[in-house]
Amino acid sequence: MKELEDRIRKDGRVLPGNILLVDSFLNQGLDARLMNQMALTWQEFYKDEPVTKIMTIEASGIALAVLTAYRFGVPALFAKKYATINLTDDRHQASVYSYTREKSYSIAVSRRLLTPDDHVLLVDDFLANGCAMAGLADLVREAGASVAGIGVAIEKSFQKGPDLLRERGLTICSLARIESLEEGRIVFGEADA
């Protein structure tokens, strides 16, 4: 997606450890118009899928999930990162590793919100090592539901996650594909949309 790549070039910053900071428009500050374009692009890409829910992990993916759910006309759902008092024991749960936080944590979603009848599109801001998306896919499968596909704003194709998820048979629509962040330079590959 050219508009997203242009915005990354303009406002993205490369930090040590192959971290791409896009907090001014995607993670903390939110460009609603750009994010709406992303949602429209995923809607077009997955138009033949009978999507019943859009799902992400709190917190950075929530805005993208809500806009995408609005475009599809279906509910949005996010997995909570830690078991809270609001979540009963009646939940689906998985463990994921956070690349940016360098630690593992549990994610959970109520069983009544994710059922075997659901066909779920997973969305998030980044795809790097693939653990977050794999954890979401595990939650969906544990519920007896199916994964319609994955929509990510930014894919780091030089990391193992994209290949691991594709090997699991998951379709990914990446709006910006980054091949390298070496020496502080952002090198783009060909995106899916």
The CATH number that applies at residue 100 is 3.40.50.2020
* pLDDT, mean over the chain: 91
DSSP SS3 for 90: coil
| 86 within some domain | no
Residue 86 contacts residue 109 (beta carbons within 8 Å) = no
Q: Which two tokens stand for residue 79?
A: 């997995």
Q: Which amino acid is at 78?
A: F
Residue 89 pLDDT more than 70? no
- Residue 178 Cα distances to 53, 61, 154, 161, 188, angstroms: 28, 19, 7, 13, 4
| 16 within some domain | yes
**pLDDT tens digits, 110-144:** 899 999 999 999 999 999 999 999 999 999 999 99
Place of tokens 């007896």: 144
Q: What is the pLDDT of residue 184?
A: 87
Question: How far is the C-alpha of 134 from the C-alpha of 126, rounded, in Å?
Answer: 13
Question: Taking residues 169-187, what's their average pLDDT?
Answer: 94
Indicate the number of domains in the chain: 1
Q: What is the pLDDT of residue 53?
A: 98
Q: What is the pLDDT of residue 59?
A: 84
Residue 96 pLDDT more than 70? yes
Q: Which two tokens stand for residue 42?
A: 């995923």
**pLDDT tens digits, 31-84:** 999 999 999 999 999 999 999 999 999 888 999 999 999 999 999 999 998 755
| 52 within some domain | yes
| 110 within some domain | yes
| 166 within some domain | yes
Alpha carbon of residue 118 to chain centroid: 18
Question: Taking residues 76-96, what's their average pLDDT?
Answer: 76
Q: What is the pLDDT of residue 86?
A: 55
Residue 120 contacts residue 145 (beta carbons within 8 Å) = yes
- Residue 53 Cα distances to 13, 24, 122, 148, angstroms: 33, 28, 9, 9
Q: What is the pLDDT of residue 155?
A: 96
Question: How far is the C-alpha of 89 from the C-alpha of 110, rounded, in Å?
Answer: 8
91 band by pLDDT with thresholds 50, 70 and 90: confident
| 140 within some domain | yes
DSSP SS3 for 84: coil
Cut 0.75: pTM above it? yes
Residue 87 pLDDT more than 60? no
| 102 within some domain | yes
| 40 within some domain | yes
**C-alpha torsion sign, points 52, 87, 66, 46:** negative
Domain limits for position 13? 2-80+91-189
